[in-house]
């Protein structure tokens, strides 16, 4: 007696009742036969039975538990059998199974790799306590339209003391220094000078030792340094006893007092190596320079919007109190938004794309499985005829597809793991600063969940179609030309059309991004980046003092600049050399200027400041528009001269009289504009060149620390790096050369986000094309095979090979035509998703759409070639034989 | 003289009787009660209610297998037969019973 799934516990209860009733009635019947009355007989039978209710209850309980156990065992056996049958059927079709696993595996691999990026960048919590309560405090400049600027130290104290919205506010600044080591090159450090409250506001606790204290910022505390986690591991070997050690920082002994937790400096931009105290008391604070960034923790219950209103109120008050704050507003921005807002947009668009790819892969595999199901209609029909229910068939298909998707998940995880390194390298710095993608538990969990879902989706489709098979028609062999088969082909054709639509989406996306990258590459930057090496040094103020009373005669700095340039220019392979404060792709900072003979005009805004040596013209390949460039004679003893870029000249001197006019800045006297230079896109290829003025480094040596060498080389620029380091070391062994890169690399990084998205979309689009091709090929082959007889008759009736071939080719095109149309329309709507990434191309530019349609059509035709050849080769005689 | 056998009797006695009763042919519950009464020379009369939980327990434990069939007067009844495991269990129980009675007998002999 088998237990099928349709027996419920109620049936068992009824059986118990029936069994007991039989017994009692038989006993009563015996008594009636002996002459008892029916009533008396039944009463006696009941009584001698015992406590009927109790017995009934006990029997029911026993039988129910028996039934439950049996059905569990049957279910388990059914499952095991399904698994066995599934594996057997997969082994019978190794080619198909391999193809399915490969297709799904690629899709899962892409999705896993992308998810690991999303996980490390977006899902990982920021390393601060209650990070959603942290906000940046920015100033902004209404005149120049900049939305985010650093503030002066006095502004910080005002924001801290004169607002009500914050639980704590702290500031920091940046500078460079180097650690001197005996017998080794100095190590350059990027340092943050921090207010003593910073670690409290952020909610971080040093893993070893302590942070910076008020003694060290406002009092008489000594020189201390708190190491970042990365620096501690790389330069100090993660030594747990590092606290108390002294390091020599720019010649000054500095005590290590603690180690920060990992990623602590994320909100500063992520490239900070260590913290030092920001030595400042409220009395010493000034409105200028705007060199300090601030972060605040919102008080409980305060929203960013409320804090924004509060900050704006204060900014307005400050404007009225102090001229230096003219046009200065405030911006309160959640740290999370700033760090991850852009990333969210980009990554969501990519996730959508990978979702499209997965859908494509699923449709493709569904087609493959339908093909196999159609070929095996015989088997299914036999099974159905022998009593296998619909749910049984569904379960068996599910077992098969789940096994396939499980195998695919392993392949996908492997592929993702292999590409993760490359993916990390391709990520734009804004994303990689937030985290490195790894294959951890959560990512693998995602992979499994994805594979399971795909397995279920794939299992239900063909299963439902197979379950509808009518045994009679299939077994009788009419299946080949019957309605069921026609419906199957129709379904498969629809699926191919859907694949074409999805592929079109990806192709359009890849096309738009590809055009963007191409446009970015064609932008007239205003400077040359090929064969230029850059490398920076930081001149510490103890050995290269800055005494404003003798400015610009800062002897040590001028001597260094001259000597270093002379030696570097003598290096083999160096065609031109220059020293600058900001290289060509570094926007630097702005300064306000006064124009002689004109009243101050706050609406003028502040131009960008470029301080260069005369060699910069040749290194960067600048074009002179008017007048002259700097010469060696423009030094600290000569009258001050300045150049404007074209944008500045047109903006400030719309009448064209820039040459000869005089401007003043930094509190220095007026100097003559001797030339106009063509614009440089210093803010990157996407951004128009800002107005800028240029001064000669020899006339205005920088008070700030960092100078950047730029060398134009005849051969590979990287080869000049060792020479550069040697020159610097020979002049001053305590100086380190850091941030060495070629300008080509720097330019590539500026376009990294677009390149990252394009690379991924391109890979998706390529896979989409391949899948569409195999889809078309599969359906056409099947259709041709089914229609052999019809084709043979056509042949016999005189159709030539060419005609048959063309017929098949047009069928192939027809399969994708509707899909392409739908895909184009959807792409037009969806292109909005990537609009922010585009450059030089509108989301409705016709070219990518036309190219996508053409590519897909071409691929469909190519995939139709072989079936077309086969169709045209059908011999007429063969077909008339009945099959 | 008859002894009433019910679920409180010597542990397993009822099981032993039931297993033996169906050892030769499948029987329904009523017939099992009759068979026990007849074969024991009318000594052992099973309390009829106790029989069914015992039968269902034996079925659940895999010693009996049950099937619906037709009784002698063509009514639907549930027939119980011995499984292989039940047969093995019967022999074991029987042997244990015999050893038990031999021991008691020896005791009584002094």
Per-residue pLDDT tens for A629-640? Answer: 999 888 888 999
Supply the pLDDT for residue A478: 43
Instruction: Please answer yes or no on whether B56 and A66 come within 8 Å at the CB atom.
Output: yes
How close does chain B come to A49, measured CA to CA in Å? 5
Instruction: Please answer yes or no on whether B48 and A63 come within 8 Å at the CB atom.
Output: no
Considering the entire predicted model, what is its pTM? 0.78
Please count the helices (runs of H) and the strands (runs of E) in chain B: 4, 5
Contact residues on chain A for B30, CB-CB shorter than 8 A: 22-23, 26-27
How close does chain B come to A14, measured CA to CA in Å? 12
Does A11 touch chain B if contact means CB atoms closer than 8 Å? no
Answer yes or no: is the ipTM higher than 0.90: no
Contact residues on chain B for A63, CB-CB shorter than 8 A: 56, 59-60
Q: Which residue of B4, B37, B56 is the best one to mutate when testing the A interface, meaning the one whose CB has the most A CBs within 10 A?
A: B56
A484 pLDDT band, cuts 50/70/90, is low
- Of B28, B56, B76, which has the smallest distance from its Cβ to A62's Cβ? B56
Q: Which residue of B15, B49, B54, B58 is the best one to mutate when testing the A interface, meaning the one whose CB has the most A CBs within 10 A?
A: B49
Does A478 touch chain B if contact means CB atoms closer than 8 Å? no
Upstream peptide bond of A289 is cis (omega within 30 degrees of 0): yes
A65 pLDDT band, cuts 50/70/90, is very high
Q: How far apart are CA B76 and CA B99, in angstroms?
A: 40
How close does chain B come to A81, measured CA to CA in Å? 23
Token output for A561 = 């600049």
Instruction: Please answer yes or no on whether B57 and A62 come within 8 Å at the CB atom.
Output: yes
Res. A2: pLDDT tops 50: no
Average confidence score pLDDT of chain A: 87
Contacts with B, A 45-74, CB within 8 Å: 48-52, 54-55, 58-59, 62-63, 65-66, 69
Q: Give the full edge-to-edge strand order of the sheet including B76-82.
A: B27-28, B76-82, B64-70
- Of B29, B56, B59, which has the smallest distance from its Cβ to A23's Cβ? B29
- Of A18, A52, A59, which has the smallest distance from its Cβ to B53's Cβ? A59
Does A306 touch chain B if contact means CB atoms closer than 8 Å? no
Res. A482: pLDDT tops 80: no
- Of B49, B65, B76, which has the smallest distance from its Cβ to A49's Cβ? B49
Instruction: Please answer yes or no on whether A50 and B78 come within 8 Å at the CB atom.
Output: no
Q: Which residue of A21, A32, A45, A50 is the best one to mutate when testing the B interface, meaning the one whose CB has the most B CBs within 10 A?
A: A50
* Residue from A281, A276, A335 nearest A156 by CA: A281
Instruction: Please answer yes or no on whether B30 and A26 come within 8 Å at the CB atom.
Output: yes
Instruction: Please answer yes or no on whether A62 and B71 come within 8 Å at the CB atom.
Output: no
Supply the pLDDT for residue A479: 43
* Residue from A730, A734, A703 nearest A251 by CA: A734
Q: How far apart are CA A789 and CA A481, in angstroms?
A: 11
Based on the number of CB atoms within 10 Å of its own CB, is A524 exposed (0-12), middle (13-18) or buried (19 or more)? exposed
Res. B5: pLDDT tops 80: no
pLDDT tens string A166-188: 999 999 998 888 888 777 778 88
B2 pLDDT band, cuts 50/70/90, is very low
Supply the pLDDT for residue A882: 54
How close does chain A come to B102, measured CA to CA in Å? 34
**B57 → chain A, closest CA residue:** A62
- Specify the long-range contacts of residues A49-57, CB closer than 8 Å, at least 24 apart: A49/A20, A49/A23, A49/A24, A49/B48, A49/B49, A50/B47, A50/B48, A50/B49, A50/B50, A51/B49, A52/A20, A52/A24, A52/B49, A54/B49, A55/A20, A55/B49, A55/B50, A55/B52, A55/B53, A56/A16, A56/A17, A56/A20
Contact residues on chain A for B53, CB-CB shorter than 8 A: 55, 58-59, 62
Least confident of A523-537, A595-609, A828-842: A595-609
Token output for A757 = 């998205």
Res. A725: pLDDT tops 80: yes
Res. A830: pLDDT tops 60: yes
Phi, psi of A770 (to 5 degrees): -60, -45
Q: Which residue of A22, A56, A67 is the best one to mutate when testing the B interface, meaning the one whose CB has the most B CBs within 10 A?
A: A22
* Residue from A874, A872, A854 nearest A806 by CA: A872
Q: Per residue in A744-773, is it b (16+ CB within 10 Å) or e — as a string?
A: eebbeebbbbbbbbbbbbbbbbebbbbbbb
Contact residues on chain A for B52, CB-CB shorter than 8 A: 16, 19-20, 23, 55, 59
Q: What single string gives the DSSP state of each residue in A661-675?
A: -EEEETTPPPEEEEE
Contacts with B, A 784-823, CB within 8 Å: none
A157, A519 Cβ separation under 8 angstroms = no
Q: How far apart are CA A450 and CA A443, in angstroms?
A: 10
- Of A1, A26, A50, which has the smallest distance from its Cβ to B49's Cβ? A50
- Of B52, B71, B76, which has the smallest distance from its Cβ to A59's Cβ? B52
Strands A608-612 and A692-696: parallel
How close does chain A come to B57, measured CA to CA in Å? 6
Apex A671 CA angle, A667 and A672, nearest 5: 160
Res. B1: pLDDT tops 70: no
How close does chain A come to B30, measured CA to CA in Å? 6
Does A15 touch chain B if contact means CB atoms closer than 8 Å? yes
Supply the pLDDT for residue A381: 53
Instruction: Please answer yes or no on whether B53 and A51 come within 8 Å at the CB atom.
Output: no
Based on the number of CB atoms within 10 Å of its own CB, is A51 exposed (0-12), middle (13-18) or buried (19 or more)? exposed
CB atoms within 10 A of CB A301: 7
Supply the pLDDT for residue A466: 56
Contact residues on chain A for B76, CB-CB shorter than 8 A: 18, 22
Least confident of A26-30, A124-128, A371-375, A450-454: A371-375
More confident residue, A391 or A881: A391
| Spacing of C-alpha A669 from chain mean position | 49
More confident residue, A86 or A281: A281
């Amino acid at each position: 007696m088998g237990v099928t799934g349709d027996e419920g516990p109620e049936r068992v209860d009824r059986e118990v009742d029936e069994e007991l009733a039989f017994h009692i009635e038989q006993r009563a019947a015996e008594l009636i036969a002996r002459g008892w009355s029916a009533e008396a007989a039944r009463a006696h039978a009941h009584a001698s039975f015992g406590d009927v209710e109790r017995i009934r209850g006990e029997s029911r309980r026993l039988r129910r538990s028996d039934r439950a156990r049996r059905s569990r065992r049957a279910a388990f056996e059914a499952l095991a059998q399904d698994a066995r049958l599934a594996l057997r059927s997969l082994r019978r079709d190794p080619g198909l199974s391999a193809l399915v696993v490969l297709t799904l595996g690629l899709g899962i691999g892409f999705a896993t790799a992308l998810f690991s990026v999303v996980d490390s960048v977006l899902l990982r919590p920021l390393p601060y306590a209650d990070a959603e309560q942290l906000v940046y405090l920015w100033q902004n400049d209404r005149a120049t339209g900049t939305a985010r600027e650093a503030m002066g130290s006095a502004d910080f104290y005002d924001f801290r003391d004169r607002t009500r919205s914050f639980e704590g506010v702290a500031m920091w600044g940046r500078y460079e220094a180097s650690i001197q080591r005996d017998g080794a090159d100095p190590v350059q450090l990027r340092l943050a000078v921090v207010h003593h409250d910073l670690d409290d506001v952020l909610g971080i606790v040093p893993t070893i030792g302590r942070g910076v204290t008020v003694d060290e910022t406002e009092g008489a505390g000594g020189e201390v340094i708190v190491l970042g986690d990365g620096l501690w591991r790389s330069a100090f070997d993660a030594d747990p006893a590092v606290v108390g050690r002294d390091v020599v920082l720019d010649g000054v002994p500095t005590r290590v007092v603690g180690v920060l937790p990992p990623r602590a400096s994320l909100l500063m931009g992520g490239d900070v190596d260590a913290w030092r105290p920001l030595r400042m008391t409220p009395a010493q604070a000034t409105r200028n320079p705007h060199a300090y960034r601030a972060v605040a923790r919102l008080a409980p219950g305060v929203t960013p919007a409320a804090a924004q209103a509060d900050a704006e109120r204060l900014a307005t008050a400050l404007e009225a109190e102090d001229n230096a704050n003219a046009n200065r507003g405030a911006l309160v921005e959640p740290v999370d938004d700033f760090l991850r807002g852009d990333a969210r947009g980009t990554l969501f668009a990519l996730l959508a794309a990978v979702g499209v790819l997965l859908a494509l892969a699923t449709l493709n595999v569904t087609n493959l499985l339908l093909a196999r199901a159609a070929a095996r209609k015989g088997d299914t029909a036999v099974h159905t005829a022998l009593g296998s229910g619909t749910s049984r068939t569904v379960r068996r298909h599910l077992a098969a597809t789940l096994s396939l998707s499980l195998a695919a998940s392993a392949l996908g995880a492997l592929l993702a793991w292999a590409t993760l390194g490359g993916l990390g390298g391709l990520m734009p710095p804004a994303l990689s600063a937030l985290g490195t993608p790894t294959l951890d538990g959560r990512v693998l969990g995602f992979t499994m969940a994805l594979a399971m879902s795909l397995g279920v989706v794939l299992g239900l489709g063909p299963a439902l179609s197979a379950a509808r098979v009518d045994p009679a028609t299939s077994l009788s062999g009419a299946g080949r030309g019957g309605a069921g088969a026609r419906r199957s082909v129709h379904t498969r054709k629809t699926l191919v059309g859907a694949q074409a639509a999805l592929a079109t989406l990806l192709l359009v996306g890849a096309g738009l991004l590809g055009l963007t990258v191409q446009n970015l590459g064609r932008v007239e930057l205003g400077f040359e980046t090929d064969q230029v090496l850059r490398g920076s040094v930081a001149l510490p103020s103890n050995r290269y003092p800055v005494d404003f009373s003798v400015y610009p005669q800062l002897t040590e700095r001028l001597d260094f600049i001259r000597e270093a340039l002379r030696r570097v220019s003598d290096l083999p392979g160096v065609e031109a050399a220059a020293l600058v404060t900001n290289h060509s792709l570094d926007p630097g900072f702005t300064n306000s200027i006064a124009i002689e003979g004109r009243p101050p005009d706050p609406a003028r805004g502040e131009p960008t400041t470029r301080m260069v040596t005369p060699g910069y013209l040749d290194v960067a390949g600048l074009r002179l528009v008017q007048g002259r460039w700097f010469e060696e004679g423009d030094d600290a003893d000569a009258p001050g001269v300045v150049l404007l870029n074209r944008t500045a000249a047109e903006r400030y001197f719309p009448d064209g009289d820039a040459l000869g006019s005089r401007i003043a800045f930094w509190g220095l006297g007026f100097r003559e504009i001797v030339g106009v230079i063509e614009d440089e896109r210093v803010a990157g290829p996407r951004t128009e060149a800002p107005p800028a003025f240029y001064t000669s480094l020899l006339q205005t040596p920088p008070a700030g620390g960092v100078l950047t060498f730029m060398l134009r080389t005849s051969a590979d620029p990287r080869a000049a790096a060792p020479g550069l380091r040697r020159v610097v070391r020979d002049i001053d062994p305590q100086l380190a050369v850091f941030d060495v890169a070629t300008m080509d690399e720097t330019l590539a990084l500026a376009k990294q986000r677009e390149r990252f998205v394009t690379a991924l979309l391109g890979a998706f689009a390529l896979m989409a094309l391949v899948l569409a091709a195999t889809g078309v090929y599969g359906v056409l082959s099947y259709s041709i095979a089914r229609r052999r007889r019809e084709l043979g008759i056509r042949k016999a009736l005189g159709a030539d090979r060419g005609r048959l071939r063309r017929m098949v080719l047009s069928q192939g095109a027809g399969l994708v035509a509707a899909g392409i149309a739908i895909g184009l329309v959807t792409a037009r709507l969806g292109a909005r998703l990537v609009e922010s990434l585009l450059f030089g191309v509108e989301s409705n530019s016709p070219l990518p759409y036309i190219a996508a349609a053409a590519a897909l059509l071409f691929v469909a035709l190519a995939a139709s070639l072989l079936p077309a050849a086969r169709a045209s080769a059908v011999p007429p005689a063969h077909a008339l034989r009945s099959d | 003289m008859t002894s009433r056998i019910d679920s409180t009797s010597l542990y397993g006695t009822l099981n032993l009787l039931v297993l033996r009763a169906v050892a030769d042919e499948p029987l329904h519950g009523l017939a099992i009660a009759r068979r026990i009464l007849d074969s024991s020379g009318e000594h052992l009369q099973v309390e009829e209610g106790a029989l069914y939980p015992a039968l269902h327990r034996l079925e659940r434990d895999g010693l009996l297998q049950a099937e619906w069939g037709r009784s002698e007067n063509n009514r639907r009844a549930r027939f119980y037969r011995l499984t292989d495991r039940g047969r093995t269990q019967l022999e074991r129980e029987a042997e244990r019973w015999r050893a038990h009675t031999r021991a008691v007998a020896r005791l009584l002999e002094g």
